[in-house]
Structure 1
Amino acid sequence: MTDDPRAAIAAAPMHRLQIVVVALCIALNALDGFDVLAISFAAPGIAAEWGVDKATLGVVLSMELLGMAAGSVLIGNVADRIGRRPTILGCLTVMTAGMFAATAASGVEMLSAIRFLTGIGIGGMLSSTSAMVAEFSNDKRRGLNVALNIAGYSTGAILGGLVASALLASTGDWRSVFMLGGVASAAMIPLAVLFLPESIESLIARRPARALETINRTLARLGHAAVGALPALPEVRVKPSIASLFSRDFRWVTILLTIAYFAQILFFYYIQKWIPKIVVDLGFDAAQAGRVLVWANVGNLTGAVLIGLLSQRFNLRPLVGGAMLLGFVAIGAFGLAGADLVRLSATAAVAAFFINAGVVGLYPILAQTYPAALRASGTGFVIGMGRGGSAVGPVVAGALFASGSSLLAVSLTMGLGGLIAAAMVFLLPWAQRRGVTGSRR
């Protein structure tokens, strides 16, 4: 057996503890998905109780998105500095406290502050669990597991939304949605404490006190033999910081991945935010429009799972770039669907399938691209900065519709995000070679 525990884990079949770690991370991301959606379900009740207008409500709705962007960038770096496990536990505690605190909010200002802080925990959780899943997976399952981890977010949004709808129908109180989220988050804390060990890759990269003892304890739980010493340090150690992401080795990789994520998320949120309005404007009612959006989310989930499965057998980068290109073609078909509910539903589902496959596929690419010392920092930075696309996409589409552009013209214009993202993905090998060349100078 090799003396490097990372190689042993990478080559061996998945142990039951590794499967538990991955499943717990997926469940934590499902909580993230529900926590983000909670404010949307609560919004009508908040507006009615406090008499707030749409503009003010829009500020409240955006606060956790701003917090998520900040959390992705800042907390991802924390996870590289202090470890995955304490960061995940800290984010889970923040999320739990934030959901319970929202039930006690007495006004818009207080609720906005609470949602911003909750968003920091959600954003940090996403980047930290992405690194944890990658580092507890073997080589064969890594792409699949990282994709499933991100798909957990959509699953939580769908299932949590169904439960929240039923809860609101029975209680009529918007606070019950946040109470549900608080209870679910609190229930995950003891499970995380018991079943989430620290990542061995993170321990090797950081080398805290008693790192070898902690690594051997985890190896025993994974069914591997103990090692007598930590693997040798690389000749050049990478410092976990934002500055390192823009060092000579990683500068171009970080720039390309950030542009790719921003452009693809811009494209993704065109579908997510505008489908209901588009369908209603074509002459259908709100319920029918909602069903078209449900089909789009089915496409989202299916695309996320399939890109993960395919990543086990094929090179990931061409898969992701190809999905982005096909998303552009599919959104053109959506733009040509016309006032036909079946065609709208089918084309929306197909477009969402390819678009979200592109989004989700970027996460295992991030895990492959950055070393352990920078994995959470890199993932967090790209996600945090790229989330600007989630705000820009709906605004740009709205401006295009307001100018009188047709559905096809708007769809193809927004689809340019997919073409830009694909170009960035296909340029990654060039960026990686440039980093290697630069490091040898």
Structure 2
Amino acid sequence: MTTVELRSAEIAARIDRLPASRLVVRARLIIGAVTFFDGFDQLLIAYALPALRTQYHLDTAATTFTITVGAVGMLIGALLTGGLADRFGRVRVVMCCLVLYSLSSLLAAFAPGIGWLQGARFLQGIGIGGEVLVAATYISEIIGPKARGKFVLLYELAFVGGLAMASLVSAWVVPAFGWRILFTVGALPLVLVVLLRTVPESPRWLATRGRLDQADEVVSRFETAAHQQFGPLPEVAPIASTLTAGRASVWDLFRGRYLRRTVVVSVLWFTSFLVNYGLASWLPTIYTKVFHLDVSTALVYSMVTTVAGLIGAIVIATTVDRYGRRTGLVVGLLGGAVILGAAALVAPATALGVMVFVSAAALFIYAVNLALNLYGPELYPTRSRAAGASIGGVFARLGVIVGPIVTGVAVGANGGIAPVFGVLAVASIIGCLTVALFGIETARRSLEDVSP
């Protein structure tokens, strides 16, 4: 083992023995605030759509494009930012994504026409699609294996909380003040740039880039904070694995043990996000167009579904270390499949019936979406962890694109969504079988043990 490899492995071992000090929690809270607004901005278009359809006389095709153009931006963001984060650092890329999606939301608020709004949503999607994946990678790298699942998923609740807050704010703002104010609120996270500059870079990433003195300095800060808060620290465990230094390569993701992992997480990301956004992005419009609810009632119904999803996310965040990632994903996808399959058979004929089925499914599917932000980064080595997460993110954004198109075609064809439930149930089953048959368990294992 070379001196560089030895010091890199020592840095990882020092991180893994530390409890979550106030300094580490502070970093999680700041990054979490960025991710909260990422979630908030992501679904704004769904809640603005009923008003936009009326103002700009949008048909089904134009409505679908307005939804999916942002998803295309998210796909590009996911594809680009992983490699950038592996090269230039996690925190720097998170900051750039924050600035992009905030300024784009402001541009959307002042858009003079629907074309400008669609362009703003495309740019915003790039920032949104990149931030959440890189941020999740960063959070997973600053904590040890014993509580990593809970630590990361409590952070990820910020994203689900942002989705829920978007529904709450929209239910009040859109009927009272219009959709432009909604996008103005989406620009508020610009103030977080100052706080982000105080967040230390991932020491694991610094070590893989050969910046060992900086990595040592960051870990020393974590150790000092933990000692002051908790007293004497555990001894550093014997070094049994290394952080492989060197340049990241996208080909790392498609060879050896990582090829199967890439296939598994890609299928999981695609199917779970297809299900989630196939319904969530169209729900307010379905309620107003198919069931003729007023905008206020439609937004309240959508809010109930988002809150149900938040409950499911809290459950998996507090149980994922105990029962494991693989078990949580299997249960979530299976539960979603059963409920959506039942909805396809029952074919609810009222808005209330649709809300009940979709909200029940959201309890399971939101939990899956949340867990993937933990599971994906754990499957790859530090040198290419963000790139690995971004590959999964690309397939997630493909699901975000395909899901609304599937739902939009069904709504436009027959004015109902019963057939969509069946399609989404099949997607959930495919994801469930994939992780059950080919997924590996990563709970309570060092990142370097899972992915040397």
Please give the TM-score of this superposition, normalised by the length of structure 2: 0.81
> What is aligned with 2:445?
none
- Give matches, 1:45-194, under 5 Å: 51=56, 53-54=58-59, 55-56=61-62, 58-169=64-175, 171-172=177-178, 174-182=179-187, 184-194=188-198
- Give matches, 1:358-437, under 5 Å: 358-399=368-409, 410-429=420-439
Residue 248 to residue 164, structure 1, CA distance change in 2 (3 Å): same
Q: Which moved more, 1:415-424 or 1:7-16?
A: 7-16
Q: Pick from 297, 302, 317 the counterpart of residue 308 of structure 1.
A: 317
> What is aligned with 1:272?
280
Shift in Å at residue 385 of structure 1? 2.4
> What is aligned with 2:447?
none
For the residues of structure 2 that align with 1:266 and 1:19, how far apart are their CA atoms?
Answer: 32
> What is aligned with 1:328?
337
Q: Does 1:261 align with 2:261?
A: no
Contact 1:282 1:339 in 2 (8 A): no
Residue 243 to residue 40, structure 1, CA distance change in 2 (3 Å): same
For the residues of structure 1 that align with 2:118 and 2:360, how far apart are their CA atoms?
Answer: 36
Shift in Å at residue 43 of structure 1? 4.9
Q: Does 1:295 align with 2:314?
A: no
Which blocks of at least 5 consecutive residues in structure 2 are unaligned?
Answer: 1-6, 228-232, 443-450
> What is aligned with 1:436?
none
The superposition leaves residues 10-36 of structure 1 with CA deviations (integer Å, 9 ceiling, x where unpaired) of 233210111112222222111112222
Please give the TM-score of this superposition, normalised by the length of structure 1: 0.83
Residue 222 to residue 82, structure 1, CA distance change in 2 (3 Å): farther
The superposition leaves residues 296-331 of structure 1 with CA deviations (integer Å, 9 ceiling, x where unpaired) of 222211111111111121122022112211211122
The residue type equivalent to 1:148 in the other structure is: L
For the residues of structure 2 that align with 1:289 and 1:117, how far apart are their CA atoms?
Answer: 28
Shift in Å at residue 372 of structure 1? 1.6
Shift in Å at residue 382 of structure 1? 0.8
Q: Which moved more, 1:160-169 or 1:20-29?
A: 160-169
> What is aligned with 1:435?
none
Residue 176 to residue 394, structure 1, CA distance change in 2 (3 Å): closer
Shift in Å at residue 237 of structure 1? 4.9
Shift in Å at residue 235 of structure 1? 8.7
Residue 123 to residue 338, structure 1, CA distance change in 2 (3 Å): closer
For the residues of structure 2 that align with 1:25 and 1:59, how far apart are their CA atoms?
Answer: 31
Q: Which moved more, 1:277-286 or 1:348-357?
A: 277-286
Contact 2:278 2:402 in 1 (8 A): no
For the residues of structure 1 that align with 2:337 and 2:181, how far apart are their CA atoms?
Answer: 40
RMSD over aligned Cα atoms: 3.6
The residue type equivalent to 2:183 in the other structure is: F
> What is aligned with 1:223?
226
Shift in Å at residue 199 of structure 1? 0.8
The residue type equivalent to 1:190 in the other structure is: V
Q: Pick from 345, 367, 374 the counterpart of residue 357 of structure 1.
A: 367
- Give matches, 1:185-264, under 5 Å: 185-194=189-198, 196-208=199-211, 210-212=213-215, 214-216=217-219, 218-220=221-223, 222-223=225-226, 234=242, 237=245, 239-264=247-272
For the residues of structure 2 that align with 1:274 and 1:46, how far apart are their CA atoms?
Answer: 13
SS of corresponding position for 1:102 = helix
For the residues of structure 1 that align with 2:252 and 2:434, how far apart are their CA atoms?
Answer: 20
For the residues of structure 1 that align with 2:401 and 2:273, how far apart are their CA atoms?
Answer: 9
Which blocks of at least 5 consecutive residues in structure 1 are unaligned?
Answer: 433-438
For the residues of structure 1 that align with 2:117 and 2:219, how far apart are their CA atoms?
Answer: 45
The superposition leaves residues 25-68 of structure 1 with CA deviations (integer Å, 9 ceiling, x where unpaired) of 2221111122223344555666677x464444553443322111
For the residues of structure 1 that align with 2:73 and 2:125, how far apart are their CA atoms?
Answer: 4
Contact 2:43 2:281 in 1 (8 A): no
The residue type equivalent to 2:42 in the other structure is: V
